[in-house]
Chains A and B, each alone.
Chain A
Amino acid sequence: MRIGSPALALLVLALPFASFVLIALVRPLRRAGRAAGFVSIGCMAAALAASFAVWTRGMIVDGGHNPSRTWGWLPGDGGPMATVGVMVDGLSMMMLMLVTLVSLLVQLYSLDYLHDEPPPSLGRYYAYHSLFAFSMLGLVLSPGFLQMFMFWELVGLCSYLLIGFWYDKPSAARAAVKAFWITKLGDLGFVAGIVMLWVQTGTFDFFELFQMANSGAPAAAGFSVIMFLIYLGAVGKSAQFPLHVWLPDAMEGPTPVSALIHAATMVTAGVFMVTRAFPLFALVPDLLTLIAYVGAFTALLAATMACVESDIKRVLAYSTVSQLGFMMAAAGAGVPEASFRHLIAHGVFKALLFLGAGVVIHLVHTNDMWRMGGLFRRFPWVGAPFLIATLALAGVWPLPGFFTKEAILAGVLAEGLTVPFAMLALGAFLTAFYMARAVFLVFFGHPHAAAAHDDHGHPVPFLMDAVCRALAVLTVALGLSHALSAHHDAAPGWLPWFSLALAFGGIALAWAVYQRRAVDPARLSAALGPLDFMARRRYGLDALYAGVYRGLLLGFSRLVGWIDRYLVDGLLNVFSAWTLRAGDAARMVQTGQPQDYVYGVTVGVLVLMICAQWLWQ
């Protein structure tokens, strides 16, 4: 295995943090906006260079070597209770490069995309971005669960801040809160699982845990519950059914933020965690099967919802949920390498898709795909990268999606999980269909009247264009490297043709429906009546959550209201009534007659004198 230098990895971690601190604390810099962006981009570029250095200067060591460098943190009896440090193995080095690369490109893109933003909020944006990159880098470098959990929460916080970046827009604020709450629901399980794991094994450290796992030690009673709880964290973060509802709403943030969240940070954290802790998950085969089923179901469910969306960003969001389902299914089938390779590849081309969608939205000022059309002829350099990314996502040879998706399907099939395999195959078909649908609606067909007139003299900003092209080149390069390395797993010979057929079948169907108009989309949806009805309503899940949330909240509020009104207020009212009555009674003493007062004084003096006399003796 390959390990890298901890010092260089710490440098990668320190650079975005330094830029965050600088932008957050130096007020003039933050309020200058673009200057803050330059600082952040400079730091990210340096971090990218450093992560490449980590990779190229990595050493090959034998498997028993501890790839993490840790320092004691929480002191305890007999050695530190928890440690912090960096774990620089192949997994984290790949993630370092992906995160720094996508963050850098997204930050560059944002300079043009958020050009009209007032400088102070642009500074705020870059401060969040730097913190986001720092959190994600810290997460992938974590050598133990505790440190990972802290960065995990930081990632959640940053995505909350960025989704709600336009916080004066009510829908954005709501989406941010929704994302935060729903991921927190999974995190509850995660933190409980970590603590229970610590109680059972006495360590948070991955390397120690893996050694225990190799010797089969922690397979005690309750271990499967622990791993299930930890998996819940990944369900929330990586938007698996049934906690996937936050991701489509997260589209309320600026488009580059969506690209970042969907490609490199946030949602990949869950898949990464499962991949990282895979030796532990491997001890619980039942849980792996569950992960595979949930993943495959998520992949299929999200794909059906993507087919009926008309908002281009939402299509991409559901596509992310679906692809995350693929990754999780692969992890559940016991091939975390395939899952991880798909994560990296997906990170690159999904970033490209979102950034391309951002360019399109920038050009036509709408998210609605039905109001776009014919953009390819006018903006071929916008369309080409988007097309490449679409083909990559659909899984067309020789683009990366083809290889990674095939590896996932092969792994699931090899594990004998027939039902998930069928769901994933159908999901892959639908993926090709909805992406091709998006491309045909947006880039081909007839220019829509609304999109046609207001975009002349509206060139694509340089940085946005350059970033998209760079990502397109990267996608192709990644695909070619996959094609050349050609490590064929134990996949049956028909599988590549099958997955290619799925991809082309989906594209062909979309072409027939949306380009040739051979089949009327309305008749197609009518034929699939109930499914279409359900998918358009997101299978009622959002409504269900809203209902439960509201029911719980309203019920609880009513209870609290009742307690407040009748118990708390009641008690106070009783006391105040008593006080009033006592006051009324005491008022009688004040007759206003001077002589009554003199009586009082006289009697008082007499009583005092008697008392004094009595005490004297």
Chain B
Amino acid sequence: MPLRAYLLLAAVVFALGLYGVLTRRNGVGILLGIELMLNAVNINLVAFSRFHGDVAGMLFALFTIAITVAEVAVGLAIIIVIFRVRKTIEADHLDLLRG
């Protein structure tokens, strides 16, 4: 399969993720969207690495996965704390920073 197919797949996944982030009102849903976007990046990295014959891209993908795990852990922890304090994780209700 050509590189373009992988990039197209990644773009679709990224767009889906972005759509999820922008439209989901649930905190957890937003996190999931971010996961999708990150994994679209991973697909890109791995695809370029494979077609250029350079392992650095794969290494970066590994790093990204590790960081994603940490990010999800922190993100979920924040959401749990928010839920304890505000009794909700609906993004619409979390507007303390409104100007």
Q: Which A residues lie at the B interface, using CB under 8 A?
A: 586-595, 598-599, 602
Given contacts A587-B99, A588-B99, A589-B99, contact A594 B91 (CB under 8 A): yes
B22/A592 in contact, CB under 8 A: no
Q: Within residues 63 to 99 of chain B, which ones have a CB less than 8 A from any CB in chain A? A: 91-92, 94-99
Q: Can you report 20 A-B residue pairs in the complex whose CB atoms are below 8 A from each other?
A: A586-B99, A587-B99, A588-B99, A590-B97, A591-B98, A591-B99, A592-B94, A592-B95, A592-B99, A593-B94, A593-B95, A594-B30, A594-B94, A595-B21, A595-B22, A595-B30, A595-B91, A598-B22, A599-B22, A602-B18
Contact B91 A593 (CB under 8 A): yes
Report B-chain residues with C-beta under 8 Å of the C-beta of A586.
99
Contact of A598 among B21, B94, B96 (CB under 8 A): B21
Contact of B96 among A588, A592, A595 (CB under 8 A): A592
**Identity of the chain A residue whose Cβ is nearest the Cβ of B23 in the assembled complex:** A595
A55 to B18, CA, bound (A): 108
* Per-residue contact bits, chain B 9-22, to A (CB 8 Å; 1 contact, 0 not): 00000000010011
A598-B21, A598-B22, A599-B22 as given contacts; A593 in contact with B99, CB under 8 Å: no
Question: Nearest chain A CB to B91's CB is how many angstroms away?
Answer: 6
- CA separation between A590 and B30, bound complex, in Å? 20
* Contact (Cβ within 8 A) A602 B22: yes
Q: Tell me the nearest residue of chain B to A584, going by C-beta.
A: B99
C-alpha gap A565/B22 in the complex (Å): 52
Q: Which 5 A-B pairs have the closest CB atoms?
A: A590-B99, A592-B98, A592-B95, A587-B99, A592-B97
Q: A584 to chain B: closest CB distance in Å?
A: 9
**In the complex the two chains form, what is the Cα distance from A587 to B99 in whole Å?**
5
- B18 and A591 contacting across the interface, CB-CB below 8 Å: no
Q: Which residue of B lies closest to A594 (CB)?
A: B91
Report the Cα distance A600→B18, complex, angstroms. 12
Total count of chain B residues near the partner, CB < 8 A: 13
Tell me the B residues contacting A by CB distance below 8 Å: 18, 21-23, 30, 91-92, 94-99
The CA of A602 and the CA of B99, in the complex, are separated in Å by 21
Give the residues in chain B near A587, CB-CB below 8 Å: 99
Least Cβ–Cβ distance between A374 and chain B, in angstroms: 89
Bound Cα distance A251, B98 (Å)? 72
Taking A588-B99, A590-B97, A598-B21 as known contacts, 9 extra A-B pairs with beta carbons closer than 8 A to each other, sorted by chain A number, are: A591-B98, A592-B94, A592-B95, A593-B94, A593-B98, A594-B30, A595-B22, A595-B30, A595-B91
Separation of A289 and B24 alpha carbons in the complex (Å): 105
Minimal beta-carbon separation of B7 from chain A (angstroms): 15
Residue of B nearest to A590 (CB): B99
Q: Which residues of A contact B92 (CB under 8 A)?
A: 593
Instruction: Let me know if A590 and B91 touch, CB within 8 A.
Output: no
Interface centre among B23, B96, B99 (most CB of A within 10 A): B99
Contacts of A592 in B (CB 8 A): 94-99
CB distance from A599 to the nearest CB of B (A): 6
Closest CB in chain B relative to A438 CB, distance in Å: 83
Closest to B97 in A: A592
Measured CB to CB, the closest approach of chain B to A478, in angstroms, equals 91
Residues of B within 8 A of A594 (CB): 30, 91, 94
Residue numbers in B under 8 Å from A590 (CB-CB):
97-99
Q: Say how far A557's CB is from chain B's closest CB, in angstroms.
A: 44
Query: Are the C-beta atoms of B95 and A591 separated by less than 8 Å?
Result: yes
Q: Chain A residues near B94 (CB, 8 Å)?
A: 592-594
**Within the assembled complex, what's the spacing in Å between the Cα atoms of A494 and B22?**
121
- From B94, which residue of chain A is reached at the shortest CB distance? A594
B21 contacts across to A, CB distance below 8 A: 595, 598
Contacts of A602 in B (CB 8 A): 18, 22
A599 contacts across to B, CB distance below 8 A: 22
Alpha-carbon distance A593/B30, docked complex (angstroms) = 13
CA of A588 to CA of B22 in the docked complex: distance in angstroms?
19
Instruction: State A586–B99 Cα separation when bound (angstroms).
Output: 9
Give complex CA distance A69, B11 in Å: 100
Residues of B within 8 A of A591 (CB): 95, 98-99
CB distance from B81 to the nearest CB of A (A): 15
| Nearest CB of A to B23, in Å | 8
Shortest Cβ distance from A586 into B: residue = B99
Report the nearest B residue to A591, measured CB to CB.
B98
A205 to chain B, nearest CB (A): 77
CA distance A65 to B85 in the complex (A): 107
Cα distance A588–B99 when bound, in Å? 6
Query: In the complex the two chains form, what is the Cα distance from A591 to B96 in whole Å?
Result: 9
Q: How long is the Cα–Cα vector from A190 to B96 in the complex, in angstroms?
A: 74
Q: How far is the CB of B84 from chain A (nearest CB, A)?
A: 19
Contacts of B98 in A (CB 8 A): 590-593
Q: Which of B18, B92, B96, B97 has the most CB of A within 10 A?
A: B97
CB neighbours of B95 from chain A (8 A): 591-593
CB of A154, distance to nearest CB on chain B (Å): 65
Q: Chain A residues near B30: list those with CB within 8 A.
A: 594-595
Bound-state CA distance A595–B20 (Å) is: 10
Q: A77 to B78, alpha carbons, bound, how many Å? A: 87
Q: Please, how many angstroms separate the alpha-carbon atoms of A448 and B94 in the complex?
A: 93
**Nearest CB in chain A to that of B18: its residue:** A602
Chain B residues whose CB sits within 8 angstroms of the CB of A593 once the complex forms: 91-92, 94-95, 98
A158 to B2, CA, bound (A): 100
Please give, as numbers and ranges, the residues of chain A lying within 8 Å of B96 by CB-CB distance: 592
**Chain B residues whose C-beta falls within 8 Å of the C-beta of A588 in the assembled complex:** 99
Q: In chain B, what residue has the closest Cβ to A602?
A: B18
Alpha-carbon gap, A434 to B32, bound state (A): 110
Docked Cα-Cα span, A594 to B75, in Å, equals 14
Candidate in A591, A595, A602 with the most chain B CB atoms within 10 angstroms: A595
Chain A residues near B23 (CB, 8 Å)?
595
